[in-house]
Copies of this chain bind each other. A is one copy, B any other.
Amino acid sequence: MNNILDGKKVSLELKEKLKQEIINIKDKLTLVDISVGFDEATKVYVKQKEKMALSLGYNFLNLHFDQILETELMQEIKKLNQDPTITGIIIQLPLPDYLNKDKIINTIDPQKDVDGLTNANMINLLNKETSLVPCTPKGIMTLLNYYKIDLIGKRVVIVGRSHLVGLPLFHLLLNQNATVTLCHSKTKDLKEYTKDADLLIVTVGKKDLITIDMVKEGSIIVDVGINRFDEKLYGDVNKDCLKKARLMTPVPGGVGPMTVISLMENVKDAYYLQKK
C-alpha cells in the first residue's frame, strides 16, 4: 500500500531530527509524569512515554501517588513549576473522581504544560499565539504537513468534539484556513457530512463507525480511534475505506506514534519557552 499516511515512519524521522536538535542543548531535559490511583491503561501509556523519553536522553520522573489530597497535589505541582531543572509536567488522565481535574491541570505553569491542556494554552491556540499544543492534534497537523497536504479552503470534517482532540484540532485547522465542520454524537445523518469531506478526521472510539459508503473518492482520512477487539487493534474507520482514500492513516502505526513524538517535541519547545 502506498496510500498510507505513515505515522510510524514519520515519527522515526522526527525522532532523529529531534535527537540532532537536542545535542545543542546543554541542559538535560526532564519530563515529570504524575499519576494518581490505579489504572491499567495508564501504566502502559506511562511506560511508552518513559521508553521514548529515555531513548532521546531526557530524564523521566514517574511521580505516582496511590492517593493524595487535592491541595497536596497542587502543592507538588507548584514545587515542580518553580524547579528550574524540570522542563515538562504531565498529569496522567483519568484522575480519580475525588480530584478536580481542571483545577489540577491549571496549576501547571503553562510553559511546562507539555500536554497543552491548561486554559492559558487553549487561549493561545485560539489567538494563534505560540502555544504548547495537545499532542494528538499536534501530531496530526505535523503528519498532514509532512505529506504537504494543502489545507487552505479545504472542506474538513472532524467527527468527535473532545477537549483533548476534536476541539483543539478544530481551531488548529481553522488557523490554517480550512473550512471545518465539527460533527459529534448528536449529529443527524453523519454520512451527509463525511461523504463530502476532502479531509476526514475521526476521533470517536467506535470500531467501523465510518464505512466505505461514507467517504469521498480521493479524500484524505485520519483515524484517531484505537479500539481493542479480539486481541487486535482497530480504528474508527473501516479498512475498506483505503480503496477510496487518496491517503489514510493505518491503525496501529498512524496517529499513535505521532502523538508520542509530539509530546517529546513539546518538551523541547517548553525548554526554549522557559529560556526566553
Contact = CB atoms under 8 A, between A and B. Distances in A.
Contact of A182 (B119, B126, B167, B179): B179
Interface residues of A, number: 27
A249 B196 CA distance: 30
Copies, count: 2
Interface in A171-202: 174, 177, 179-184, 186-188, 192-193
Contact of A123 (B123, B161, B179, B182): B123
A184 B188 contact: no
Contact of A102 (B119, B127, B167, B184): B127
Contact of A174 (B126, B161, B188): B161
B193 A182 contact: no
A185 to B, nearest CB: 8
Given A102-B127, A123-B123, A184 B177 contact: yes
A270 B117 CA distance: 28
30 contacts: A102-B127, A119-B119, A119-B120, A119-B123, A122-B123, A123-B123, A126-B163, A126-B167, A127-B163, A152-B186, A153-B186, A153-B187, A153-B188, A154-B188, A155-B192, A161-B174, A174-B182, A174-B184, A177-B184, A177-B186, A179-B181, A179-B182, A179-B183, A179-B184, A179-B186, A179-B187, A179-B188, A179-B193, A180-B182, A181-B181
Report the 9 A-B pairs with minimum CB-CB distance, sorted nearest first: A153-B188, A177-B186, A181-B181, A179-B187, A119-B123, A153-B186, A179-B183, A152-B186, A153-B187
Interface of A: 102, 119-120, 122-123, 126-127, 152-155, 161, 163, 167, 174, 177, 179-184, 186-188, 192-193
